[in-house]
Amino acid sequence: MRRRRGAEMLPQVRRRERLVLPESSGETDRPCLVHLVWEPYGLETLREFAKALRSHPSGVDHELVLAMNGFASATEARPYLDEVADLAPEVLFFGGRGVDMSVYFTAAARLRRDRYCFVNSAARPLAAGWLAKLDAALAGPGVGQVGATGAWASGHSWQLYSAGLPSAYRGLMPPPPVARKLFRDIESEKRGGGQSSATDVLRARLEILRGLPRTLFSYEPFPARFLRTNAFMITHAALKELHLFAVRNKTDAYAFEGSRRSITRQLEGLGLSSLVVDRAGVVYEPADWPRSHTLWQGDQEGLLVADNQTRSYTDGDFARRHLLSTLAWGPQADPRPPREDRSTMGVR
């Protein structure tokens, strides 16, 4: 196991200051798989990823790098490193508990490889050859990035709908109070359970209203097409062309994923496409993403790499599935009831 000495702290730069990546070193043509290991998630999360990686071989010779977020040294990370010793990863340490995208950018600046597949802590490969399928798609002409999932979801249109204003989601989603309750339940599950108090509900409502101007300015109306960053692949050369800035919080991270200045939109401005790759290796342009059945559609039977968001749909009842599918795909939503509900709903 190769290790990088010392902890790499995240860049201390002013908000929105541009981050410029160095040139690729050109040392290797293998894809570089960068997996984020976030200390608060604990050892079991890494154990589950490693199990999925062993069960579903990547299908291509690659370099595995663990981005140890929240670990200052190998001593702190010892149980984690022992757990994956057989996978022979290179290890980078990030002592500051940065946001995923900031860690990815910093890792790219240090590694300077030809191309990267970034997968977050919750990512779980579901099929053999998964990385080879992503790598083959990235090699296509005019391709800027590829990923396991994409969406048309719009924070702009959702905020309007939640506030009771005209929106592309009107007539498709349940009434706003019901939709907000379903989303609160999802967030509660992420936090480990517990019902929101009346004060929490009011606070969340006020936050929506306060953030409305910024959301309307920063995010596009539905369909706002973007590739999700839970598992995506991009070349160093393409990443270097982007306007990267300091990612300090989830708001910044969401902006890179789905705003008017998202990675997807920036690549489009460079004439490069963003593609979704399904479990069979079939590649989908943004206009065809709903047919991929990779995110919040059908039974997600096309999904190549799972994560916490896809599992929320898998484990949810039909009301949740319908809400998430509608958020992602609007009038093209096609959720499938959970298996236990199909007989009572007359669905085979």
Do 29 and 92 fall within a single domain? yes
In a domain, 77, yes or no: yes
In a domain, 235, yes or no: yes
Give the pLDDT score at 18: 76
In a domain, 137, yes or no: no
Which residue range is the domain that position 201 belongs to? 155-218
In terms of C-beta density within 10 A (0-12 exposed, 13-18 middle, 19 or more buried), how is residue 164 classed? Answer: exposed
Report the relative pairing of strands 32-38 and 115-119 from DSSP bridges. parallel
Q: Specify the DSSP element, H or E, that contains 69.
A: strand 63-69
Overall domain count for the chain: 2
Q: Positive or negative, the Cα torsion across 194, 195, 198, 200?
A: positive
In a domain, 76, yes or no: yes
Give the pLDDT score at 15: 47
Q: State the DSSP code for 335.
A: B
In a domain, 269, yes or no: no
Specify the 3-state DSSP secondary structure of 347.
Answer: coil
Q: How far apart are CA 323 and CA 181, in angstroms?
A: 11
Do 97 and 237 fall within a single domain? yes
Do 96 and 234 fall within a single domain? yes
Residue 231 to residues 14, 36, 199, 290: CA-CA distances in angstroms?
Answer: 28, 11, 36, 18
Side-chain half-sphere exposure of 157, counting CA atoms within 13 A: 22
* DSSP secondary structure of 146-206: EES-EE---HHHHHHHHTTS--TTTTTSPPHHHHHHHHHHHHHHHTT--PPPHHHHHHHHH
Give the pLDDT score at 193: 52
Mean pLDDT by 10 residues, the chain (348 residues): 41 56 86 96 97 98 96 94 97 85 92 97 98 98 98 93 94 96 88 55 55 72 95 97 81 79 94 98 98 98 97 96 98 93 56
Do 78 and 106 fall within a single domain? yes
Do 161 and 239 fall within a single domain? no
Give the pLDDT score at 198: 53
In a domain, 331, yes or no: no
Do 114 and 249 fall within a single domain? yes
Give the pLDDT score at 10: 36
Give the pLDDT score at 138: 98
Do 167 and 212 fall within a single domain? yes
